[in-house]
Structure 1
Amino acid sequence: MKRIMMKTVLKIIFVGCCMLLTLHANEKVYKLKMATTWGPTLSPLIDAANNMAKMAEELSNGQLQIRIDTANKHKSPLGILDMVKGGQYDMGHSASYYWKGKDINTLPFTSMPFGLTSPEQYAWFYHGGGLELMQKVYNKHHVYSFPGGSTGVQMGGWFRKEIKTLTDLQGLKMRIPGFAGEIMARLGVQVTNIAPGELYTALETNSIDALEWVGPSMDITMGFHKIAPFYYTGWHEPASEMHFIINQKVYKKLPKHLQDILVASMRLAAYDMYIQNYDMNASAWEMMKKEYPNIMVKTFPKPIMDAMKKANEELIIEMTQDNALLKEVLDSQKAYQKKVRVWTQMSDYLYLKDNL
């Protein structure tokens, strides 16, 4: 009797396994293409895209597969939105302020000068209405946008000469994107935006006099310090967030469980990039101080900082006068910053102040 029961159980298990294998074999595999602004070696930015794709494939048991084309392949590092919007690619990984010329409303979702820090901005995205506002802005482009990894506070840039007064900024040719570029232009700087892979050449050939990139972990490997040794502390991008975007039609065609897996993978990859970059910056800063003593770390003088803040306030008023959606986004960030900054001061600021 026991032998008969055992045979029956084994048969049931065998049939069940066959059914599961058959079901798995019949599951549709969804293959997506993603374009990035970054080259194949630009860590940690490209790592966020690679890690997201890997997690999505593993969590879906191979049902969701994402091929990544870096800027070296598609040759359009600043054209990610257009390619995803137009259906050339299903997804993209970039920074939304790169297309401020096409839609100024996308700009605040990367970072705003004197604005939210990375922890504050993540809280705004996920608990303060930021994510909903981002979808509202991107809806006209027929894509969904999600946080894609933060660089934290970015450094203020590399300069050939020390910036002592506002006069030193007059006519200066500088690569600096986003709202900060608008501020610097207001102060007399000739502002341009250049793709990451072209930055060193632009500096080396005197096409620009100064540039802002990210922070020590990515800046040192680019070699900017060899030409422009004055390295300024940050003010303009306190929470620079990259973004994953996906074509709405593509997203809607995915089964619900794959949509959930994709969103979860993007969220985890974004936070992982933030902490990875934090570690990389700490290591690079330690190395920089030892191996490159010629680098002169500076902070912009108070009169320059005051002028930047004044220009920032003026520009926000001007740009939101006839743009209700941009005003809605910036008002939301401002209100959330007023609320959350009190806790940031009570926690992070006072802790550091008392223990440095």
Structure 2
Amino acid sequence: MKSQSLRSLLAGFIALGLTVTAATAQAAPEYRWKLAQTWPTNFPIFSDAVTKMADLVEKMSQGQMTIRIDSKNKHKAPFGVLDMVKGGQYQMGHSASYYWKGKDLNTLPFTTMPFGMTAPEQYAWFYYGGGMDLMKKVYDRHGVYAFPGGNTGNQMGGWFRKEIKGPADLKGLKMRIPGFAGEVLSKLGVVVTNIPAGELYTALDRGTIDALEWVGPSLDINMGFHKIAPFYYTGWHEPATELLFIVNKERFEELPSHLQAILATAMEFAAYDMYARSYHESAVNWAAIRKDYPHIKIRTFPKAVMDRMKEENRGLVADKSASDPLFKEIMDSQSAYLKKVREWTRISDYAYLKDNLE
């Protein structure tokens, strides 16, 4: 979507909010919410999306509803957002579901899965392929509603101090990589850890980890990882990473219907806007990589490594599906939808790009 279209859509949303609330705002009760985010204060793109959502809510509600944003710098629990929202400390949160996969593995597929759907495919699954219903089914057990919260697009495979020439090079490697991909790499001998964004550079610099994946050019260059680990690999593990807004169910249902609609609209707009911003920033920074950082070595994992990753991924999905009917239901839904939508991707986007890349 072009920026002009986004601005027009945003103007329409604001006008809608003003129209809906104009007659009632003076006498209506006020709602002062707090949101806990995984990200540091003023973290580019991710935190910006949260701020945009909160600003939209305040404008469309004419100040009847405001949302204060607390970063990890304040609440000190970057991976504890789900617990804080379900426990009522915060009415809302913004994070990624793979940060609490240890509490409920069934939340994980709503952020991303290795070798899964691209962002357009994933959004289609969410809104028209049954994804939202399944996500509600999973998060109902935690007393929260979950909403798409912004997509990074296809992520890069990570920064490595040394080149990966075969599966043997992964054994004993200490790497920050979250989600199901971490489970896959563990099977290949990688020592997997998860580290908050603000601590990644220090961990890599001090040798606490040998490699890490973060996002892609949109955020990685500004983090400075290339100064330490020059091998930059293309992705396999997160073809479309959807962050999530989560909302305490009781607090959401206490809102009047017009504020529920305003909040849902603001979250959806912020999610799509973040996807567009991520794509733009990746393109800008990719150009900078090619021009200004000649020491960065772009690599793709060898076929032998990719084959092992795919094999282990299939095995893990099968094992977890066999032991958890709900996980199987989610994966069956994603697999069936991917099979259907990928045929269209193949004859549309893939065919166009294959014939027109210069």
> Do both proteins adopt the same fold according to a TM-score greater than 0.5, normalized to the shorter chain?
yes
* Rounded Cα–Cα distance in structure 1 between residues aligned with 2:329 and 2:45: 32
1:102 deviates by 0.6
In our comparison, the structure showing a higher alpha carbon Rg is 1
Give the corresponding residue for 1:50.
Answer: 51
Give the corresponding residue for 1:14.
Answer: none
* Rounded Cα–Cα distance in structure 2 between residues aligned with 1:21 and 1:112: 44
Asked whether the equivalents of residues 25 and 62 of structure 2 are also in contact (C-alpha less than 8 Å), the reply is: no
Matches within 5 A, 1:99-118: 99-118=100-119
* Rounded Cα–Cα distance in structure 2 between residues aligned with 1:34 and 1:265: 14
Aligned pairs, number: 337
Q: In the alignment, does 2:270 pair up with 1:244?
A: no
Give the corresponding residue for 1:309.
Answer: 310
Give the corresponding residue for 2:94.
Answer: 93
Give the corresponding residue for 1:182.
Answer: 183
Give the corresponding residue for 2:322.
Answer: 321
1:24 deviates by 3.3
* Rounded Cα–Cα distance in structure 2 between residues aligned with 1:217 and 1:138: 30
Structure 1 segments of 4+ aligned residues over 2 angstroms from their partners: 20-25
1:23 deviates by 5.0
The 1:24–1:167 alpha-carbon spacing in structure 2 relative to 1, beyond 3 Å, is closer
1:320 deviates by 1.1
Give the corresponding residue for 2:137.
Answer: 136
Deviations 1:54-85 (A, max 9, x none): 11111111111111011111111111000001
* Rounded Cα–Cα distance in structure 2 between residues aligned with 1:308 and 1:322: 21
1:22 deviates by 9.1
Calculate the aligned-residue CA RMSD, in Å. 1.1
Deviations 1:184-240 (A, max 9, x none): 000010001111111011101111000000001210111100110000000000010
Matches within 5 A, 1:201-350: 201-350=202-351
* Rounded Cα–Cα distance in structure 1 between residues aligned with 2:99 and 2:126: 19
**Which segments of 5 or more consecutive residues in structure 1 lack a partner in the other structure?**
1-19
Q: Which amino acid aligns with 1:283?
A: V
* Rounded Cα–Cα distance in structure 1 between residues aligned with 2:214 and 2:261: 33
Give the corresponding residue for 2:39.
Answer: 38
Give the corresponding residue for 2:60.
Answer: 59
Give the corresponding residue for 2:28.
Answer: 27
The 1:155–1:23 alpha-carbon spacing in structure 2 relative to 1, beyond 3 Å, is closer
Give the corresponding residue for 1:84.
Answer: 85
Q: Which amino acid aligns with 1:152?
A: G
1:318 deviates by 0.7
Q: In the alignment, does 2:176 pair up with 1:163?
A: no
1:21 deviates by 8.8
TM-score (norm 1): 0.93
* Rounded Cα–Cα distance in structure 2 between residues aligned with 1:262 and 1:26: 20
Identical aligned residues as a percent: 62
Asked whether the equivalents of residues 25 and 64 of structure 2 are also in contact (C-alpha less than 8 Å), the reply is: no
Helix, strand or coil: the match of 1:134? Answer: helix
Q: Which amino acid aligns with 2:305?
A: I
Helix, strand or coil: the match of 2:141? Answer: helix
Deviations 1:21-77 (A, max 9, x none): 995321111111000001123210001111111111111111111110111111111
The 1:21–1:46 alpha-carbon spacing in structure 2 relative to 1, beyond 3 Å, is closer
Asked whether the equivalents of residues 45 and 278 of structure 2 are also in contact (C-alpha less than 8 Å), the reply is: yes
Asked whether the equivalents of residues 25 and 61 of structure 2 are also in contact (C-alpha less than 8 Å), the reply is: no
Range with bigger deviation, 259-268 or 148-157: 259-268
* Rounded Cα–Cα distance in structure 2 between residues aligned with 1:113 and 1:22: 49
* Rounded Cα–Cα distance in structure 1 between residues aligned with 2:254 and 2:32: 12
* Rounded Cα–Cα distance in structure 1 between residues aligned with 2:214 and 2:336: 29
